Structure 1
Amino acid sequence: MDKFKEKLAALREEVNAATSRAELAEEEAKRLKDEQIQKDHEITSLKNKLTLAEADLEKAENKIAEAKLNLDEGETTKTVGEGLARKVSLLETELETAERNLRETSEKLRQMDIKAEHFERKVQQLENERDTYERKVEELTTKYNGIKSELDETLKSLEDM
């Protein structure tokens, strides 16, 4: 009887431990999903910046083309053209940086997806373990109740003698 109680207590501890692990895994999965959402927002922001940078680049290129047409107007136009060229160079640098950030963020997002899938599988595995332990506890409870009723009947028959 004591062994049975010890086994039952051990099973309860295992169920509690499995439940705790499952809760931790669920929290981790939620945290990873939140991070993924944040990364999605960052990607969207970077795409918007990239679009704006491309628009600025196109404007700058148009201004450079205009400046080349007006080159005959003198030194003032030359200075403006140099300024626009610097701006184009700066915009190209910003564009390259934005593209690099986008690639890095995409890679991080891919890695986060992989991690999220891993944790989802882990959560499913833990849920399956929990279900198995719950079934075992139910079976043991049923056996315990059966043995207890047999013991009660035996004690009752002994008392009747």
Structure 2
Amino acid sequence: MDRIKEKMASLRVEADESHAKVEELQGKVKTLEQETLQKEHEITSLTHKNSQLEGEVEKLENQIKDLKAGAEEGTTATTQNETLQRRLQLLEEEAEEADKNLRETNDKLRQTDVKAGHFERKVQALEQDRDQWEQKYEDMAKKYAAVQKELEDFQQEIGNM
């Protein structure tokens, strides 16, 4: 009986130790379950955060594409602006040249008008001179005719004598 008691006591000690181990292991299991649950929450949180970050990356990539397209348009606009500025400068130079030519032409026209006025006055003066000479010619022609008549009359008188 003592042996049975000893065996019982040893079995009780073993049962107590097993029970203590079971409780210890159950505590570890609970701790591990809590850690697992925590890790799962962390994984869920990180997964959610990852999807948000992926969405943000996609947005940023689209934004980069838009900005690159805008930069290309800006470069194109800058190139067009430079081209238009060069054209404007050429047109301004052509306009200045045309203005210069117009001024020169106007000066020449004024000079021509002055010369034309001068020549018109000369023509008028020459016409007046011509008219005077014509008048003198007519007067002289009349005098000549009168002198001729006088001469004929005188020759007739001499011829009659």
TM-score range, shorter chain: 0.5 to 0.7
Note the C-alpha offset of 1:71: 8.4
Counterpart position of 2:79: 79
Distance (whole Å) between structure 2 residues aligned to residue 104 and residue 71 of structure 1 = 49
Counterpart position of 1:103: 103
Note the C-alpha offset of 1:74: 2.1
Counterpart position of 1:44: none
Note the C-alpha offset of 1:90: 0.4
Distance (whole Å) between structure 1 residues aligned to residue 85 and residue 120 of structure 2 = 51
Percent of residue pairs identical: 48
Note the C-alpha offset of 1:76: 1.2
Distance (whole Å) between structure 2 residues aligned to residue 97 and residue 74 of structure 1 = 34
1:127 pairs with 2:127: yes
Counterpart position of 1:88: 88
Q: Kindly provide the amino acid, as one letter, of the partner of residue 139 in structure 1.
A: D
Note the C-alpha offset of 1:75: 1.1
TM-score (norm 1): 0.54
SS state at 1:74 partner: helix
Alignment of 1:26-65 (within 5 A): none
Q: Which runs of 5+ in 2 are unaligned?
A: 1-69
SS state at 2:118 partner: helix
Q: Kindly provide the amino acid, as one letter, of the partner of residue 143 in structure 1.
A: K
Counterpart position of 1:146: 146
Structure 1 residues 135 and 116, CA gap change in structure 2 (3 angstroms): same
Q: Give the aligned CA root-mean-square deviation in angstroms.
A: 1.7
Distance (whole Å) between structure 1 residues aligned to residue 108 and residue 71 of structure 2 = 47
Note the C-alpha offset of 1:141: 0.6
Distance (whole Å) between structure 1 residues aligned to residue 88 and residue 71 of structure 2 = 18
Note the C-alpha offset of 1:107: 0.8
Mean alpha-carbon deviation: is it higher for 112-121 or for 100-109? 100-109
Distance (whole Å) between structure 2 residues aligned to residue 86 and residue 134 of structure 1 = 69
Distance (whole Å) between structure 1 residues aligned to residue 153 and residue 97 of structure 2 = 82
Q: Deviations over 1:11-51 (max 9, x none)?
A: xxxxxxxxxxxxxxxxxxxxxxxxxxxxxxxxxxxxxxxxx
Note the C-alpha offset of 1:73: 2.6
Structure 1 residues 71 and 113, CA gap change in structure 2 (3 angstroms): farther
Q: Kindly provide the amino acid, as one letter, of the partner of residue 113 in structure 1.
A: D
Note the C-alpha offset of 1:78: 1.0
